[in-house]
């Protein structure tokens, strides 16, 4: 037997060497799926199958590239001739050759997302339709759904039910837009990304005797990676290539129904669940040995997924040893959750010598990244946000901050350029450029020129629009002395029209942007309500100017990390296919994870559970789960129930930092051997103490900032405001050290030493 087969276990070897007829490989997490897929292709080549007769479809170019590289290590340069690539790249290649059969030129353009949006925007405008009712993102999403489900414009128009639903949703002209969009793309000789699938199906369907048979004869062996992520359209194309009279149906699918998490993109789990029904003589191989994780993690994953209603039964196991129990962190607030996760990361780095790149924080929504970003920065821990921009770099966040910067400093020209015409108020780019030129000539700020716009000679419409903008900002400025940062920020976000604009976009992306905006506003509310020090110059000051100062370092471009040693922050969706020695799955609360949007049907809840399954199986050695008993949502503190998913993990696999008892189950803190009861009252949200100090009162000169080199753990200190305490730890980079101090009144605070005022 060839050497490359010697490194496979028995089930893997059977899956690799069974090359005739339909084959289904159910690959649990960490079970060597990629190895099986690539070695199977290598085995085909070793058996004398021509490389150009093999078609391997993946979901990422990276996966296809790695596949070819691995195959080449076994069979050499023959791997280059294998047709391996993403669905879109392979089908685009075929469509280039065969475009004339569907009325397209061979050099057709491929429209990206922005191109598609521009075409739709023009159609909506030309038809005098309300862009709020017919939002570009929403219409684009609906057209995409139609294509995935093989509903042409004609089929849509001919279906009375679809038209009635459009009338009910106040979009009776959707079918008109859909038809015009398809016609305009064809007229331009262009296909969007969905068309690369849709037109491929049309090509095979309308040309069964020549084109379709040509590719059936060509591709003798078809393999599909991540089959659970295919949509209805992709599966129908596969069937067109495989299901024909006399076909041996040499199709091999590799996937895991328990990791089907992309329904929002059109993927359907039914494809993998129904595969055995569609191919009754299929040979099924279950890869159940996990080579990635320790047994506590694997057992927890099995416990969780066993609660799903319909699934392909399997039992994942590992021989990597028991490992550490899953740590569960309960925090009082989401801010505390961020701090405790950062503390735990520091502990893991110290105790187990982990590097930053060994650690990942996974969350359900991108808006959750804020508290973790802030805590990691405070701890001087390098990190990188994946699957989206850093929280403060996201457009919706910068837009709101633009208004806040204008209130505090209206001469901030970058902020003015960002918000003067957003939301739109008839001040176009040409007008902004004119204002900028005139301000330069007069040697005054753009804001000063805007305040005197009636003297500029601009036409009436932009002049009146600029006057309205100036009046809006000046009204906000006048309220600085009477409103705190949160009140002013909320007023600006509402009255500028930003929140209204964000709220009108009901797509997944639009709802995420709205959540991000609310996350920023909630962060400002936390700032206003907090007793924590934010710097020497702003102690006790909860004004808007103080807030902007407090986040200045968080948005400073100089703090960006250029090394590859960083903690990874990403959504669970973005983490699919990755693995890390240590994983933190955060925000395990009802209505967050599982999402409140998933509770309409059992199928949606099952998908949320699969998402949690994916999250916990990213961990190799250490898995930590955290949740907050309270969280700011829409400017209000919301008290949370613990996620039902935690109840589905056996107690023996978990170590609790504090007990939870959602279903009568409790556990002792990790690191404790005591079986004594725990006082739950101490975990309740503390009552806010009334401040008795005046931040403007001069501080006794004996209380001053102390050089960290003069301090040591265990020293007794007296803080000018918090009283006597003991230094528990000193951490952070030189010049930015902070001390954790346990005060005699029972409170514990982290204080930045260069801002602190105390005496030893």
Question: Nearest-CA neighbor of 238 among 445, 406, 87, 20?
Answer: 87
721 a catalytic residue: no
228 a catalytic residue: no
Question: Nearest-CA neighbor of 196 among 283, 93, 85?
Answer: 93
- Per DSSP, the three-state class of 106 is coil
Residue pair 288/256 in contact (Cβ under 8 Å)? The answer is: no
C-alpha–C-alpha distance, residues 24 and 277, integer Å: 12
Structural element, H or E, at residue 14? helix 10-17
User: What tokens appear for 470 in the block?
Assistant: 């100036």
| Active-site hit among 194, 225, 505, 608 | 225
413 a catalytic residue: no
Cα–Cα separations (whole angstroms), residue 648 to 286, 294, 600, 609, 662: 24, 18, 20, 10, 11
Alpha-carbon torsion, ordered 271, 274, 280, 283, to 10 deg: 60
The DSSP line for 344-382 is HHHHHHHHH---GGGEEEEESSGGGHHHHHHHHHHTT--
| Active-site hit among 192, 226, 396, 399 | 226
| Active-site hit among 34, 507, 668, 740 | 34
Backbone angles phi, psi at 312, to 5 degrees: -90, 115
Backbone angles phi, psi at 696, to 5 degrees: -90, -5
C-alpha–C-alpha distance, residues 674 and 610, integer Å: 35
748 a catalytic residue: no
Backbone angles phi, psi at 742, to 5 degrees: -95, 115
User: What tokens appear for 437 in the block?
Assistant: 């030129």
CA-based diameter of the chain, in Å?
93
618 a catalytic residue: yes
| Active-site hit among 618, 621, 629, 757 | 618
User: What tokens appear for 608 in the block?
Assistant: 């949320």
Angle at 313 between CA 291 and CA 229, to 5 degrees: 75
Cis geometry, peptide bond prior to residue 594 (ω within 30 degrees of 0): yes
Query: Strands 654-656 and 326-331: what pairing?
Result: parallel
Classify burial at 110, counting beta carbons within 10 Å of its beta carbon; exposed 0-12, middle 13-18, buried 19 or more: middle
Instruction: For the chain, state the CA radius of gyration.
Output: 30
The DSSP line for 447-482 is HHHHHTGGGTT--HHHHHHHHHHHHHHHHHHHTTTT
C-alpha–C-alpha distance, residues 361 and 369, integer Å: 9
Residue pair 71/82 in contact (Cβ under 8 Å)? The answer is: yes
| Active-site hit among 33, 394, 425, 609 | 33
Cis geometry, peptide bond prior to residue 423 (ω within 30 degrees of 0): yes
DSSP conformation class of 409:
-
Residue pair 638/630 in contact (Cβ under 8 Å)? The answer is: yes
34 a catalytic residue: yes
| Active-site hit among 38, 175, 199, 259 | 259
User: What tokens appear for 305 in the block?
Assistant: 């997924």
Q: Which residues are catalytic?
A: 33-34, 225-226, 259, 618
């Amino acid at each position: 037997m060839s050497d490359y087969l010697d490194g496979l276990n028995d089930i893997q070897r059977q899956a690799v060497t069974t090359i005739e007829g339909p084959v289904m490989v159910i690959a649990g997490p960490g079970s060597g799926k990629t190895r099986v897929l690539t070695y199977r292709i290598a085995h085909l080549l070793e058996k004398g199958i021509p490389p150009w007769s093999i078609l391997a479809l993946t979901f990422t170019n990276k996966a296809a590239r790695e596949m070819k590289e691995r195959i080449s290590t076994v069979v050499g340069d023959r791997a280059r001739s294998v047709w391996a690539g993403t669905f879109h790249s392979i089908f685009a290649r075929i469509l280039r050759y065969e475009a004339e059969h569907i009325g397209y030129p061979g050099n057709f353009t491929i429209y990206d997302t922005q191109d598609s949006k521009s075409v739709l925007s023009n159609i909506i405008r030309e038809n005098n339709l309300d862009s709020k009712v017919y939002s570009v993102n929403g219409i684009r999403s609906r057209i995409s759904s139609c294509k995935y489900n093989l509903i042409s414009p004609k089929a849509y128009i001919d279906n009375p039910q679809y038209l009635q639903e459009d009338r009910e949703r106040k979009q009776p002209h959707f079918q008109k837009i859909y038809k015009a969009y398809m016609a305009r793309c064809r007229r331009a000789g262009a296909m969007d990304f969905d068309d690369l699938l849709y037109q491929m199906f049309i090509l095979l369907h309308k040309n069964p005797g020549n084109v379709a048979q040509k590719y059936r004869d060509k591709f003798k062996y078809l393999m599909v990676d991540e089959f659970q992520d295919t949509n209805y359209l992709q599966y129908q194309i596969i069937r067109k290539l495989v299901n024909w009279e006399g076909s041996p149906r040499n199709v091999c699918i590799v996937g895991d129904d328990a990791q089907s998490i992309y329904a929002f993109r059109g993927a359907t789990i039914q494809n993998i669940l129904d595969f055995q029904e569609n191919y009754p003589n299929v040979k099924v191989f279950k890869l159940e040995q996990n080579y990635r994780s320790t047994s506590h993690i694997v057992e927890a994953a099995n416990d969780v997924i066993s609660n799903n209603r319909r699934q392909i039964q399997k039992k994942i196991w590992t021989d990597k040893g028991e490992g550490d129990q899953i740590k569960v962190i309960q925090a009082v607030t989401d801010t505390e959750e961020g701090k405790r996760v950062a503390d735990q990361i520091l502990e893991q780095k110290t105790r187990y010598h982990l590097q930053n790149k060994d650690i990942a924080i996974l969350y359900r929504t991108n808006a959750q990244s804020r508290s973790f970003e802030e805590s990691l920065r405070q701890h001087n821990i390098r990190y990188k946000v994946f699957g989206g921009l850093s929280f403060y770099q996201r457009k919706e966040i910068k837009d709101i901050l633009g208004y806040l910067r204008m209130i505090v400093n209206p001469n901030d020209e970058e902020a003015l350029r960002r918000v003067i015409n957003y939301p739109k108020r008839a001040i176009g780019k040409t007008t902004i450029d004119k204002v900028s030129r005139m301000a330069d000539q007069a040697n005054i700020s753009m804001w000063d020129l805007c305040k005197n716009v009636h003297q500029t000679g601009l036409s009436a419409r932009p002049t009146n629009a600029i006057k309205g903008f100036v009046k809006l900002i000046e009204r906000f400025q006048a309220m600085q002395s009477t409103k705190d940062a949160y009140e002013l920020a909320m007023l600006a976000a509402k009255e500028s029209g930003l929140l209204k604009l964000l709220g009108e976009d009901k797509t997944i992306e639009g709802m995420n942007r709205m959540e991000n905006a609310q996350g920023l506003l909630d962060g400002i509310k936390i700032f206003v309500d907090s007793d924590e020090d934010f710097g020497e110059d702003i102690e006790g000051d909860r004004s808007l100017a103080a807030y902007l100062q407090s986040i200045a370092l968080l948005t400073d471009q100089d703090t960006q990390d250029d090394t590859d040693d960083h903690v990874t922050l990403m959504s669970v969706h973005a983490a699919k296919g990755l693995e890390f020695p240590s994983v933190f799955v955060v925000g395990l609360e009802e209505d967050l994870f599982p999402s409140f949007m998933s509770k309409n049907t059992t199928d949606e809840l099952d998908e949320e559970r699969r998402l949690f399954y994916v999250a916990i199986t990213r961990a190799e050695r250490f898995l930590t789960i955290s949740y907050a008993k309270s969280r700011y949502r829409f400017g209000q503190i919301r008290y949370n129930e613990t996620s039902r998913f935690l109840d589905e993990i056996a107690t023996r696999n978990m170590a609790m930092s504090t007990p939870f008892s959602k279903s009568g189950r409790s556990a002792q803190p990790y690191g404790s051997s005591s079986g004594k009861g725990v006082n739950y009252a101490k975990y309740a949200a503390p009552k806010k103490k009334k401040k008795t100090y005046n931040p403007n009162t001069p501080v006794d000169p004996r209380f001053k900032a102390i050089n960290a080199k003069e301090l040591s753990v265990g020293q007794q200190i007296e803080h000018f405001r918090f009283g006597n305490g003991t230094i528990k730890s000193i951490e952070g980079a030189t010049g930015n050290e902070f001390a954790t101090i346990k005060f005699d009144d029972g409170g514990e605070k982290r204080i930045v030493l260069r801002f602190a005022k105390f005496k030893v």
